Homo-oligomer: A and B are copies of this chain.
Amino acid sequence: MKAIMLGIALPLALTGIAIGSAAFDSAKIIDLTHSFDKHTIYWPTEGSFHHEWEHFGPTPGGYFYSSAKYAAAEHGGTHMDAPLHFNRQGDSVDKVALGNCIGPAAVIDFSARAAKDPNATLSVADIEQYEKANGAIPDGAIVVARSGWGKFWPDKKRYLGTDKPGDVAGLRFPGFSSEGLKYLLEHRKVAAIAIDTASIDPGISKEFLAHRVWLGANKPAFENVANAERLPARGATIFCIPTKIGDGTGAPTRIFALLP
């Protein structure tokens, strides 16, 4: 789709997004969300996503009707970690402003290192290298750590490091370093972080420092991002839109990007 270059004045406000009345171009949208179904990956201590038909078929009125119900843990599949997850004073899902769930995507790739070491974490050096190539991470950005792990979904053994129920000791996958997150908090104005693994902490973590640092700063995080390999390093706008669960510590989240 060829971009239309406009030389006219446009009201942009500070959103970076101009609102128009034209039809929406689906070809510019990348869905970064795994479906919630029986294959959805949850923490080894949790059950799977439950979807149960209430009705599926013809009705006495002669028309087709179907409906179902669902049940799951908050923290599984493509989802938000609300600050409340590790921060008693932090916002629950319903309290996180949508403005902090939408922003320019700064996609920092560390997949080459992660391919050699499943305990790899996104470091300060990774951030510095990204900015050298792409310019400073913009204010309001959502930083996406790309480990390359998305390609293992929904194979639990490869994605989590273990497919045994309850086996938290067997978890092995990349994450954020707490040093990298402290650097972002001190030196950049980032709205949220996201990653294509099951947790912002690496699987091997026992202290969950990434969670404690980032959610401790009352900022949301997003886990199990799908299709991250389709994101450009910069230039896309990413939307991480959670189900509005009251008092939620986490929630299923529809993540998608609009390409430039």
Contacts and interface: CB of A to CB of B under 8 A. Distances in A.
Contact of A14 (B4, B18, B85): B4
A66 B249 contact: yes
A10 B6 contact: yes
A64 B37 CA distance: 30
Interface in A1-48: 1-26, 28-29, 31, 33-38, 46
Interface residues of A, number: 98
Interface stretch (A67-75, A125-133, A163-171, A177-185): A67-75
A1 B14 contact: yes
Give the number of times this chain occurs in the complex, counting copies: 2
B17 A98 contact: no
B21 A18 contact: no
Residue in A6, A23, A99 whose Cβ sees the most chain B Cβ within 10 Å:
A23
Contact of A102 (B7, B24, B67, B71): B24
Interface of A: 1-26, 28-29, 31, 33-38, 46, 50-51, 54, 61, 63-75, 78, 84-88, 94, 97-100, 102-104, 138-141, 189, 191, 206-208, 212, 234-237, 239, 241-250, 252, 254, 256, 258-260
Residue in A15, A71, A87 whose Cβ sees the most chain B Cβ within 10 Å:
A15
B64 A74 contact: no
A15 B37 contact: no
